[in-house]
A and B are shown apart, each in its own frame.
Chain A
Amino acid sequence: MFEREESELAESKKIMKDLSISDDRSDQAILRGIQQAKAEKKKKRVQLPIKTFTAACILGLSFITSVNVSEPVAYYMSNVPGMGKIVDFVRYDKGLLAAVENNYIQKVDSSVNNKGIEFTLNSIIHDEKSLIIFYEYQSDEEDVVITPESFQLLNEKGEVLPYHIVGEYWNDNPDSLLEIRVPLKEGDNLPNELILSTQLSKDKKLLDGVWEIPFTLDKGKIVGKKVYNVDKTLEIEGQQLTIKDVTMYPSQTAVHVYYNSQNSKKIFGINDLHLIDEKGETWNTSVIETTQINENETIIYLQSNYFTNPKELYLRFNSIRALDKEELTVEVDPIKKKILKAPKDGKLTDVEIEQGEMSIKLDTNPNQFKSAIFTHAIDADGNVIGKHEPYGISYSYVDDYVLYSVPFPSEATDLGPVKLELLDYPASISAEANVKIK
């Protein structure tokens, strides 16, 4: 009955077969799709300043990796009406879970619906260190990707307050809460009446209008920080670092560290820093940011044990990331696409320049290290190249490398060799450290 149609369809199918697509090209398309999706997840963070970016990564990571949860408590709490969602979300951070358990959290539960997207402010945790906001959004439409564009904190008159907001903008579980934080400095005093305001985009297109939710801070809830002066200096292969003090807030613990400026190596960070009490219970890094005060002074944040109050408490770690100070500059010849100078472990390879970006490969396991090692190249005159353009970090767990890209317009190639200052690097020195806090 449909012989002609069927035979023509068969013919057309044959031609289609001849339109051969190599496995290579289709595999590339898949990998690009994955990378694009990962970049979309991190889109907002990449444009943040370096400090917050690295930290935001750690946050994402810690939610996946740390599963040392006080399960019975979480189980109990998640059955308290209205608490299930927040408990599910904070159960990977012992400090936040304890804050919820101790009723330190302030429930808001207020929603606004605009253009078929419901935006909800679930609850907040407010202490001297930060205002933590747990929110979510739900769209009437399926299969669309909604992402917040820019969060702002307003006062009750609708005026923008000068705080920057860091945190998560996207979670692959649409039913999960998301967390953003407003870091507070000593003396910052938020008004009691606030408005959280954001714009949203759908499938990468900015939507008209704003989603705003007013809420009230209950300042009667705030409890004071606990400060432990430690002032203990450790020496690791000739490199000195000092644990100055440890401050506990309900939301997090701040560890204040100094690196000796006379060190021959630059210390980028401490690996596996954690608190441990006399019973062996630990509190790990679960931080949203690390505050680099200056080159030799930094604050590292850990999960809070404010509400636990152990008898004894120790700070421990087992290695630091450090590199000879002479090795901190990477030099690249953009014409020959050659690395002229780099750390002698030879992990930096393969310079590529295309589509306004220079990319350099770092041989490392992305499961263990994928922090930003540099963000922008500098020309011979010290000018930052493509200052306002975002940088990128891409990796796939299939490979043993991370690809870093910095903005690099084609005309920059004429500038001659360029420099990149290392901000972090996966070179570790083992060291067993154990410092008594109380």
Chain B
Amino acid sequence: MMTNLPKTAAETALIRQFAGLQQQGVFPPDTQRAGFLPSLPQRQAAIAALGAHGLPTRRLEAWHYSDLRRLLPDIAAFSDKIDGVELPPLLAEAPVLTLINGRAGEAPNSGNKVFKAISLAANSEAETQYAGFDTELEDKGAIISQINTAFARDGWHIEVAAGNKAVIELQNIQNSGQSHSRLAASVGKAAQLTLIERQAGDNQASFLSFASRLELAEEAEVTWIIVRQRGLNAAELNRFQAILGQKSRLRLYVVNLGGQLVRQEIHVDLAGEGADFQLRGINLLAGSAHTDNTMVVRHLVENTASTEIFRNVVAEQAHGVFQGMIRVAQAAQKTDARMACNSLILSDEAEFSARPELEIFADDVACGHGATVAEIDHNHLFYLMARGIPEGAARILLIKAFVGALLDELPENLAGALHKVLAAWLESHFTAA
């Protein structure tokens, strides 16, 4: 393996930008929101690790389909401009937490008793030392953690106390420039949280990293929906991590509708008996978008379950990736894990790479995976057209049906809002006539 590749423009820029920021003294003091944001020594160690091993290449198994050295040739510079405005929330009733160009906005409704939301860079001392976010300095593949640790300056901390029920939308708006932020969420015993994570931006060049970490206490229930609507020159590295306690339940939806380069990592630990994780992913990819979804689910104890279903539609020269790793620890008997990945490929140059992996150390488990690739069924198309539906509209209807089916398990208002988002994307990318 080659070790001394010359530094790319992007690597050089990251190292130089870090030095610049450090000199300007812009990183929050270590005492502030301790643990939620990295300390200066942690930042320095992270940038040193990045400098030492560089951006991952395809030689690294976890990045096989997404060679960052090649796909991230350069990165947008930091800018202090507040470029972007809050969007109307997907659910009208949801309070909105914003991050615009990486800066947290006002906390909504301070009188809210259902949940507590504190911006990480807010000028207050942390009540507790948070030890959640991993820095993973040794792992060459953990580049998102490392970049985020080096640069993260703001974000949100959300707490839903035991027995409470909250609906929140977080908007990370990045039109131009660069940002790195975090979201720490903890959901108490038997509490419920619906969190919509909007990752949005226009077609200017931008670069960001985002790390979220979610803890579910016993019997907590979380529906977490990542909706990505980024522009043609946006690069986003996103790491979602969740730890599930006893009998807790997490439904994670990832809806990818854009971005030039996207890596969505999903790390889930089923750490309490009876925990249940369901992942539903929708990729609608066009242009030359490269969207990588890489998941590692660890079944750590007995009687846990997970299902993962991805539905992908890939057009033009887009490339989608789903790497799904299910690890079943020796102690994790009676694990039930199912993974499926179905892709519709709409052009000769479009591509979807699916790599399911099972790593099982227990002997009494039910695990399975499957992947399919297809074109639009021409019998279905003929049937719709024979009823007078023009070809373009018939294709849109079939694509909507293919991906929309994954939303059926959601409450009606959420499913309805997401159906609209999908329809808007389809109608802007395909002609109905």
A binds B: no
